[in-house]
Amino acid sequence: MSSTPKLSDEEKKARQREYRRRYQEKHPHRHRSRHVKSRYGITLEQRDGLLAAQGGVCAMCGADNPRKGGMDWSVDHCHDTGKVRGILCHPCNAGIGLLGHDKQLLSKAIQYLN
C-alpha cells in the first residue's frame, strides 16, 4: 500500500493546470499548433495561409495585429458546421462571440448604436 495521501479533485485539477501551464510555457508553438489543429481542423500553417490570403489583416476590421498582448490571431468558425470563416483579431472575435454569433442580435446592436 502506498502511503501517498490521496489528492482531492480540486488538488488534482490544480496540478493539471500547473502542468499544462509549464508545458505551454516550454513549447508555445507546439501547444498553439495542436490547439489550432484539434479545435479547428487546420494546421497553424494553414491558418497563416488564410491570414495571408486576407492580406495579413483581420477579416472583419482590417487590424494588422491581434491587438491583445500575447494573444494570437483567432480562427473564427461556424459553431454549427465547424467551417472556418476567417481569421479575426481578438476584439472582433470576442465581440461576435459574446453576442453568440447571432446575426439578428448583431443587427440589433448596430441599430442600438445608431
Interface positions with Zn ion (CB under 5 A): 58, 60-61, 63, 89, 92
Say if residues 74 and 87 touch (Cβ distance below 8 Å): yes
* Closest distance to Zn ion from the beta carbon of 38 (Å): 24
Closest CA to 40 of 89, 85, 100: 85
- Tell me the C-alpha distance between 74 and 39, whole Å: 11
* Closest distance to Zn ion from the beta carbon of 88 (Å): 5
- Tell me the C-alpha distance between 18 and 66, whole Å: 26
* Closest distance to Zn ion from the beta carbon of 56 (Å): 12
Say if residues 36 and 42 touch (Cβ distance below 8 Å): yes
